[in-house]
Amino acid sequence: MFETTIAGSLPKPGWLAETDKLWPAWRAEGAELAKAKRDATLLWLKEQEDAGIDIVTDGEQSRQHFVHGFLEFVEGIDFEHKVKMGIRNNRYDAMVPVVVGPLKLKGRVHQTEALVMRSHSRRKIKITLPGPMTIVDTIADRHYGDKVKLAMAFAALLNQEARALEKDGVDVIQFDEPAFNVYMDDVTKWGIAALHRAIRGLKKAKTCVHICYGYGIKANLDWKETLGGEWRQYEQIFPALAKSKLDQVSLECIHSKVPVDLLKLLKGKDVLVGVIDVASDKVETAEEVCSTIKKALKYVPKKHLFPCTNCGMAPMSREIARAKLKALAAGAALARKRYR
Ligand code: ZN
C-alpha cells in the first residue's frame, strides 16, 4: 500500500554535468561520458533505495533534457540548425531542433539505464519517455507538415523503445505530457490516441502518463500566477484519461491550486499523487506528506494511491533532492500506519 515513486528526474552530480540547469552541458564526452552517466545512474538508484523509494528510476542521468534526450536517438532531425520557437503555447522560447525527413530510431535509447537498474535492483523500476504531444510541442517541423501525423510518427518510435524496455525488465513506462495541461482540446482529439499508439502491444509493464505544471523554473512560476485561484485544467482531460488504456496518471498536488476533488475523475486508475513540491527548496515533513495523502484518499482508493513528487527534481541541489526523497518515503510510511 502507498508504494512510493518519483516523477522521474533527479539532479546530476557536478562531475557529470553543469548543476542547477535545465539544459546542462556534459563534463565529458565519448566513452568517458558514457561511464559517468552509468555511475550517476547507479548512484541515484542506491540513493532512492536507501531513502525508501519503492519504484525507482534512472533519475534521467543520461539525458540532457527530458525531450531532447530521446530526440538525439532519432534519425530525420537536424540538431545543427536549431530554431527559436515559443513552446507550451508561447510560455517560453526554446532553441529547438527541426524535423527534416522521415523519422526512424537510430537504435536503443535507454537500454543501458534499464539494464543497469535491472541488474542492481530488486525493486520495481521505471523509465520515463517524453509523450508524443510534448515532443511535437518542443520541435520544429519541415517534413510532415501536420501535427497529428508528426505525433503519430513519434508515437511509433516511442512504442518501439517501450516494447524493448519491457523486454529489458522495466516494470513501469511513463510518458511525460506537460503539454496536456496546455492544449486540453487536443488531448481528447489526438493526444490520448497518440499515447495509445505508444503503448500498443505492451503486456507486462504498467503504463503511466505524467501531467504537471512544469519544473520550478521562473517561466513556469510566472505562468502559474496567470492561472487564477483554482487550476482546473485537469478537469477537462481526466474524464478522457479515465477511459483510456493507460494504467496510471501522475499529477501535481501539494502546494498547487489543483482542487483535490478533481482526482475523483480518474476512477479506476492508479494515481501518482504529488506530495513533494519541486518548486521549493523547503523540505516537506513526514506529517505534511501524510496530510496530502490523507486529502487525496478522499477521492482515490488506497490501492490506487501512489505517493510521488509533483514533477522532476533535475534543477534542484542534490542535498535537497535527497532530503525530499527521504521525506516522501517517511510520509508514506506514516500514512501506511495511520490509514491501513
Ligand atoms: Zn513534470
Spatial distance between the Cα atoms of 303 and 96, rounded to a whole number of angstroms: 41
Residue 67 C-alpha to ligand 1 middle, in angstroms? 12
Please give the angle made by the CA atoms of 114, 269 and 166, to the nearest 5 degrees: 20
* pLDDT score of 88: 82
Q: How far is CA 71 from CA 63, 83, 86, 131, 287, in A?
A: 10, 15, 18, 12, 40
Asked whether the predicted pLDDT for residue 216 surpasses 80, the reply is no
Residue 316 C-alpha to ligand 1 middle, in angstroms? 14
Spatial distance between the Cα atoms of 337 and 317, rounded to a whole number of angstroms: 31
Residue positions counted in the chain: 340
Spatial distance between the Cα atoms of 141 and 282, rounded to a whole number of angstroms: 40
Q: Is residue 157 part of a domain?
A: yes
With a CB cutoff of 8 Å and minimum separation 6, the contacts of 48 are 6, 10, 56, 57, 59, 325
Closest residue by Cα to residue 188 from 265, 151, 241, 264 = 241
Instruction: Taking the CA atoms of 104, 110, 114 and 116 in sequence, report the sign of the dihedral they define.
Output: positive
Q: Is residue 16 part of a domain?
A: no
Identify the band that residue 225 occupies on the pLDDT scale cut at 50, 70 and 90. Answer: confident
* pLDDT score of 163: 98
Residue 213 C-alpha to ligand 1 middle, in angstroms? 6
Grid cell of 16 as nine digits = 557529470
Asked whether the predicted pLDDT for residue 136 surpasses 90, the reply is yes
199, HSE (Cβ side, Cα atoms, 13 Å): 24
Q: Is residue 139 part of a domain?
A: yes
* pLDDT score of 221: 83
Identify the band that residue 224 occupies on the pLDDT scale cut at 50, 70 and 90. Answer: confident
Residue 31 C-alpha to ligand 1 middle, in angstroms? 30
Residue 264 C-alpha to ligand 1 middle, in angstroms? 21
CATH number at residue 50: 3.20.20.210
* pLDDT score of 213: 86
Q: What is the mean pLDDT of residues 215-221?
A: 79
With a CB cutoff of 8 Å and minimum separation 6, the contacts of 237 are 180, 181, 184, 187, 188, 191, 211
Identify the band that residue 27 occupies on the pLDDT scale cut at 50, 70 and 90. Answer: very high
Grid cell of 88 as nine digits = 507550451
Q: What is the mean pLDDT of residues 138-151?
A: 96
Determine the 3-state secondary structure of 102 from DSSP. strand
Report the domain count for the chain: 1
- CB-based contact 228:256 (threshold 8 Å): no
Q: Is residue 6 part of a domain?
A: no
* pLDDT score of 172: 98
Q: By residue range, what is the domain housing residue 192? A: 30-339
Residue 280 C-alpha to ligand 1 middle, in angstroms? 14
Instruction: Specify which of 84-93, 122-131, 248-257 reaches the highest per-range mean pLDDT.
Output: 122-131
Spatial distance between the Cα atoms of 181 and 153, rounded to a whole number of angstroms: 22
Closest residue by Cα to residue 306 from 330, 271, 337 = 271
Residue 156 C-alpha to ligand 1 middle, in angstroms? 23
Q: Is residue 307 part of a domain?
A: yes
Residue 271 C-alpha to ligand 1 middle, in angstroms? 14
Q: Average pLDDT of the chain? A: 95
3-state secondary structure 120-157: HCCCEEEEEEECHHHHHCCCEECCCCCHHHHHHHHHHH
Residue 340 C-alpha to ligand 1 middle, in angstroms? 29
Closest residue by Cα to residue 164 from 119, 110, 116 = 110
Residue 334 C-alpha to ligand 1 middle, in angstroms? 25
Q: Is 300 left (phi over 0), alpha (psi -120 to 50) or beta?
A: beta
Q: What is the mean pLDDT of residues 255-268?
A: 94
Q: Which pTM does this prediction carry?
A: 0.96
Spatial distance between the Cα atoms of 3 and 275, rounded to a whole number of angstroms: 13
Q: Is residue 18 part of a domain?
A: no
Q: Is residue 19 part of a domain?
A: no
Element (H, E) at 219: helix 218-225
Give the tens place of pLDDT for each residue, 74-91. 999 999 999 999 888 888
Q: Is residue 106 part of a domain?
A: yes
Spatial distance between the Cα atoms of 112 and 120, rounded to a whole number of angstroms: 12
Asked whether the predicted pLDDT for residue 276 surpasses 90, the reply is yes
